[in-house]
């Protein structure tokens, strides 16, 4: 079994970013927009700030109270969106229920939309237009497959999950690499069987340790996108690592897999022309 560690992938991406930054005259700036103080948002934010500081990329965090009304939030967001000093905007999702996430997606400048929430960037991804920004997590999955030389052309790939954040965009990216993709969701009749037929499994269901050895064929490659805290307070993914790791051909760990690549992908978006 091969362990597909994200640190190795992130290091390679970071070196490319540093080289490109050293050749340019401008320092990009990432503005992070966070409503409330959810622990998962704060954890992601800490990782981003650490990564951007390491790479020499400027950051600014805008924190808003969890009970902010939609009109006030849209006004504040629009001001950030229009600021010429802002290179990229990352708005943590999901937003509280009183805020209109669709409105935010529609007004964000596609050139600053570094996590691919704009319908314009989504359309670019779905049409194969490489000028669009895809969701960072989806691109991190592709970066891992590419870095480790895992071929997708002609391969059967099963994606568990159909969200706009990971499931659907990663499926489109894989099809553009000539994979044969099946998307499973809550209405899929036999998810285990669909997964057992796959050469590659992308687990993005949002359910802790859902994928066990019954889902995985002996030579399968498993990419675990999930991140959860189990009953013992330990981080885990959508895959039961102990059950699957001795059975599959290769697997990403949690932590230390896809998540560790995501911030590097985010940084790479900030320096794209």
> pLDDT of 161-171, one tens digit each?
999 999 999 99
Is residue 123 in some structural domain?
no
The β-bridge relationship of strands 156-160 and 180-184 is: parallel
Domain of 189, CATH number, reads 3.40.50.720
Shared-domain flag, residues 92 and 159? no
Q: Are residues 148 and 254 in the same domain?
A: yes
Omega before residue 255 within 30° of 0, cis: yes
Residue 10 lies in a domain: no
Asked if residue 178 belongs to a domain, the reply is yes
Query: pTM (2 decimals)?
Result: 0.95
The torsion region of residue 232 among left (phi > 0), alpha (psi -120 to 50) and beta comes to: alpha
Q: What is the pLDDT of residues 89-147, one digit of tens each?
A: 999 999 999 999 999 999 999 999 999 999 999 999 999 898 999 999 999 999 999 99
Nearest to 256 by CA among 223, 232, 230: 223
List the domain range (segments joined by +) for residue 151: 136-259
Length of the chain: 273
Q: Based on the structure, what is the number of domains in the chain?
A: 2
Judge if 173 and 220 occupy the same domain.
yes
Q: Quote the CA–CA distance of 166 and 222 in Å, as a whole number.
A: 15
Tokens of 76: 């504040």
CATH number at residue 66: 3.40.50.10860
Q: Is the pLDDT of residue 179 over 70?
A: yes
81 inside domain: yes
The last residue of one of the domains, among 112, 145, 167, is 112
Residue 117 in domain: no
The reply to whether 173 and 93 lie within a common domain is: no
Q: What percent of the chain has pLDDT over 70?
A: 100
Q: 83 is written with which tokens?
A: 């600021």
Q: Is 14 contained in some domain?
A: no
d(CA 70, CA 103): 10
Beta bridge partners of residue 2, listed in sequence order: 250
């Amino acid at each position: 079994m091969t362990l597909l560690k994200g640190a190795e992938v992130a290091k390679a991406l970071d070196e490319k970013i540093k080289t490109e930054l050293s050749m340019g005259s401008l320092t990009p700036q990432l503005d992070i927009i966070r409503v409330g103080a959810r622990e998962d948002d704060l954890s992601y934010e800490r990782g981003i700030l650490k990564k951007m500081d390491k790479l020499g990329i400027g950051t600014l965090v805008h924190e808003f109270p969890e009970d902010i009304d939609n009109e006030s939030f849209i006004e504040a967001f629009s001001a950030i969106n229009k600021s010429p000093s802002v290179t990229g905007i990352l708005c943590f999702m999901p937003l509280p229920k009183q805020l209109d996430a669709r409105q935010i997606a529609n007004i964000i400048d596609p050139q600053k939309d570094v996590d691919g929430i704009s319908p314009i960037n989504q359309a670019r991804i779905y049409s194969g237009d490489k000028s669009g920004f895809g969701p960072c997590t989806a691109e991190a999955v592709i970066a891992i497959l590419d870095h480790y030389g895992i071929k997708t052309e002609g391969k059967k790939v099963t994606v568990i999950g159909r969200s706009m954040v990971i499931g659907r965009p990663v499926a489109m990216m894989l099809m553009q690499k000539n994979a044969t993709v099946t998307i499973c969701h809550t209405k899929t009749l036999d998810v285990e069987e669909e997964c057992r037929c796959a050469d590659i499994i992308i687990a993005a269901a949002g359910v802790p340790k859902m994928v066990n050895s019954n889902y995985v064929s002996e030579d399968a490659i498993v990419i675990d996108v999930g991140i959860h805290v189990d009953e013992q307070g330990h981080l885990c993914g959508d895959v039961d690592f102990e059950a699957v790791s001795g059975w599959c051909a290769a697997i990403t760990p949690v932590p230390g897999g896809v998540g560790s690549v995501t911030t590097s992908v985010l940084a790479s978006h900030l320096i794209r022309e």
